[in-house]
Homo-oligomer: A and B are copies of this chain.
Amino acid sequence: MNRSFSPVECRAVELDKVAWVPFPEALSAGGIRWKLLNVAPELGSWAAIFECPAGSSFNSHHHIGPGEYYLTKGKMEVRGGSEDGGDTVVAPAYGYEATSAFHGRTYFPVDSEFYMTFLGPLQFTDAPGGQTIALVTWDSAQAAWEASQAG
């Protein structure tokens, strides 16, 4: 080994000190807003909170790496919701979305809010195993966030 490494720094964010910004419309519908809370460049993980108005949704995507959410408000239909083989959860709720999980539809029937940690990227695609429309990695998430702050 040629060099010495130091532990990574801890960090904290008080959420009310950060303003909501629109989440990219290319990847969602219905006015979702977000706050990016952290990125961790060695593993490629990132954390964010999302505010999802009634009727909003995320476009279909694969989780490339596990994701864990904590729904603090509202109701979320994941993987089609419980009527279509997925889960419909009512806040407060926790969920583990496994590596490779395909989210054909993530829909919010009422005003909702959730916090999520992602180990690795989201691959937006039209169908399971389909062509990649967008690969949202820790660094593209950071770039989108910083662009929104620069405005």
Contacts and interface: CB of A to CB of B under 8 A. Distances in A.
Interface of A: 1-16, 18, 35-45, 47, 49, 64-66, 68, 70, 72, 78-79, 86-87, 89-90, 92-101, 115, 117, 119-121, 123, 129, 131-132, 135, 137-140, 142, 145-146
A68 B117 CA distance: 8
Contact of A79 (B10, B15, B140): B10
B115 A94 contact: yes
A16 B94 CA distance: 11
Contacts of A117: 68, 117
Copies assembled: 4
B94 A8 contact: no
8 contacts: A4-B146, A10-B98, A12-B78, A38-B96, A64-B137, A68-B117, A119-B119, A123-B135
Given A47-B94, A100-B44, A3 B7 contact: no
Per DSSP, chain A at the interface is mixed
B101 A7 contact: yes
